[in-house]
């Protein structure tokens, strides 16, 4: 009975303790929530402060970038690339570029009758400076250091480009004649140009004009003597030369090119001419064919035709040149020659074509290991005419080129020579092996 009466009292006490505990727990949770809210507020303040600082930093960076661009615009452009050193004014009206080339050769001659002498030679060592003046004017000065140990000018000219696409040029530059001659020595397929390149007039002082369109080019000029005469050509007098090219098929991988050249040259004091050529190797100074001095010359004519084609990695090129020598007291003379060559890039490259000049440009390898090219050429020249017996020569050359990169090339050529007959009326057939290391920049 007593136990039953006391039970409600005990239950009532337990309920009071539970309520007290619940109150304390709620109070603790409320305190924790207040602390968390305070931490959230602090984090929010930090984030807002960081965003404000980020905006300030971004504004400072933008301001700095604008200053840098302003300085760059005010100071012009300076760059060093595979094409040399270049400086340009902020307006683009003035520019300066420096570059050069080095060609180092070795040749071994399996002589027959004429002793040619094996050896090595620094074939070319040139530096050049070129650029723009007042936007519409261009200039170039090239110096040769490897020509028989003598330092001398090569191409030195001033050009006006204000009447695009026409350009006027004054100075010492190449007469526009022959695809092979107009293609730079850095970009020709073989170490030396073909036998008929002896006909090409090369560098002379003159005034010229040239223009071009989407598929064609034309150039011409009046020329006198040169700073340093090419020993295969008439030393004095004046001449008129012209060249026209047309490329009806022209794309990155396909090309069909035709061209025609001519030159009339009036002789000056001495009335003499001479045609001779090395056997497509420059280390030797011996010529197997040579007209020797032709006297009583009034004037000469040169006529040239050229053709070239690309189809992917394959290319073909050929030229024919006829030289006519008019004499005062004897019959006119006629000399001629031709070549045909083909090449195949085993690594897939294609010869780049420059329509504004009607010439081929530099190879840019497609792979890190460079580009490999196999090539072959047949050339012939006939320097016999009337009473002049300069000889006849035909060569077959095979070549292998490795383009390590855009600026470096290594070349190997093997040439089978037949002079039937040579300048002295004797048949001979030497062979030539030669190599070249080439750097251009």
Q: Residue ranges per domain, the chain?
A: 9-75, 93-440
Q: What pLDDT does residue 9 have? A: 39
Q: What pLDDT does residue 361 have? A: 97
Q: What pLDDT does residue 92 have? A: 85
Q: What is the pLDDT along the chain (441 residues), one digit of tens a residue?
A: 333 333 343 444 455 556 677 777 777 777 777 776 777 777 677 656 655 665 665 666 567 656 655 554 555 677 777 878 889 888 888 999 999 999 999 999 999 999 999 999 999 999 999 999 999 999 999 999 987 667 888 999 999 999 999 999 999 999 999 999 999 999 999 999 999 999 999 999 999 999 999 999 999 999 998 765 444 444 568 999 999 999 999 999 999 999 999 999 998 867 899 999 999 999 999 999 999 999 999 999 999 999 999 999 999 999 999 999 999 989 999 999 999 999 999 999 999 999 999 999 999 999 999 999 999 999 999 999 999 999 999 999 999 999 999 999 999 999 999 999 999 999 999 999 999 999 999
φ and ψ at residue 63, rounded to 5 degrees: -65, -40
Could you please report the per-residue DSSP string of 199-256? Answer: GS--EEEEEEEEEE-SSEEEEEEEE---SS--TTS-SSSEEEEEEEEEEEEESSSEEE
Element (H, E) at 302: strand 297-311
How far, rounded to the nearest angstrom, does the alpha carbon of residue 220 sit from its chain's CA centroid? 23
- Other beta carbons within 10 Å of 306: 22
Q: Sign of dihedral through CA atoms 188, 190, 193, 194?
A: negative
Q: Given 3-state DSSP classes, what are the helix, strand and coil percentages for the chain, each rounded to the nearest 5?
A: 20, 50, 30
Enter the DSSP assignment of 61: H
φ and ψ at residue 320, rounded to 5 degrees: -130, 135
What does the alpha-carbon distance between residue 433 and residue 83 come to, in Å, rounded to a whole number? 31
Q: Does domain 93-440 have CATH number 3.40.50.150?
A: no
């Amino acid at each position: 009975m007593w136990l039953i009466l006391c039970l409600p009292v005990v239950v009532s006490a337990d309920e009071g303790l539970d309520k007290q505990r619940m109150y304390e727990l709620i109070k603790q949770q409320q305190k924790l929530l207040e602390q968390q809210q305070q931490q959230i507020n602090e984090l929010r303040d930090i984030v807002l402060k960081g965003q404000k600082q980020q905006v300030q930093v971004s504004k400072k960076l933008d301001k700095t970038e604008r200053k840098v661009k302003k300085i760059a615009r005010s100071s012009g452009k300076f760059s060093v690339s595979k094409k040399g050193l270049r400086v340009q004014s902020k307006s683009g009206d003035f520019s300066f570029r420096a570059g050069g080339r080095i060609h180092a050769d070795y040749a071994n001659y399996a002589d027959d009758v004429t002793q040619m002498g094996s050896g090595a030679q620094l074939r070319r060592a040139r530096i050049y400076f070129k650029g723009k003046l007042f936007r519409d004017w261009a200039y170039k000065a090239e110096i040769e250091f490897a020509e028989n140990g003598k330092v001398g000018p090569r191409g030195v000219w001033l050009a006006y480009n204000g009447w695009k696409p026409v350009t006027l040029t004054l100075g010492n530059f190449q007469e526009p004649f022959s695809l092979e001659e107009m293609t730079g020595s850095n970009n020709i397929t073989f170490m030396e140009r073909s036998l008929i390149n002896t006909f090409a007039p090369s560098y002379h002082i003159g005034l010229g004009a040239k223009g071009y369109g989407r598929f064609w080019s034309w150039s011409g000029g009046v020329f006198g003597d040169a700073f340093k005469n090419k020993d295969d050509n008439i030393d004095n007098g004046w001449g008129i030369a012209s060249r026209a090219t047309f490329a009806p098929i022209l794309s990155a991988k396909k090309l069909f090119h035709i061209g025609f050249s001519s030159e009339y040259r009036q002789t000056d004091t001495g009335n003499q001419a001479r045609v001779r050529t090395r056997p497509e190797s420059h280390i030797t100074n011996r010529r197997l064919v040579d007209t020797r001095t032709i006297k009583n010359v009034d004037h000469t004519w040169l006529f040239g035709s050229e053709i070239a084609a690309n189809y992917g990695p394959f290319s073909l090129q050929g030229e024919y040149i006829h030289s006519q020598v008019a004499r005062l007291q004897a019959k006119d003379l006629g000399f001629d020659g031709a070549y045909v060559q083909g090449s195949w890039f085993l690594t897939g490259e294609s010869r780049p074509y420059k329509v504004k000049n009607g010439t081929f440009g530099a190879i840019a390898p497609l792979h890190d290991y460079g580009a490999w090219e196999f090539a072959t050429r047949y050339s012939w020249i006939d320097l016999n005419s009337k009473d002049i017996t300069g000889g006849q020569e035909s060569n077959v050359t095979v070549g292998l080129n490795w383009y390590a990169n855009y600026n470096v090339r290594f070349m190997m050529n093997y040439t089978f020579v037949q002079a039937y007959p040579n300048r002295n009326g004797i048949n001979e057939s030497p062979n030539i092996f030669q190599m070249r290391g080439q750097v251009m920049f």
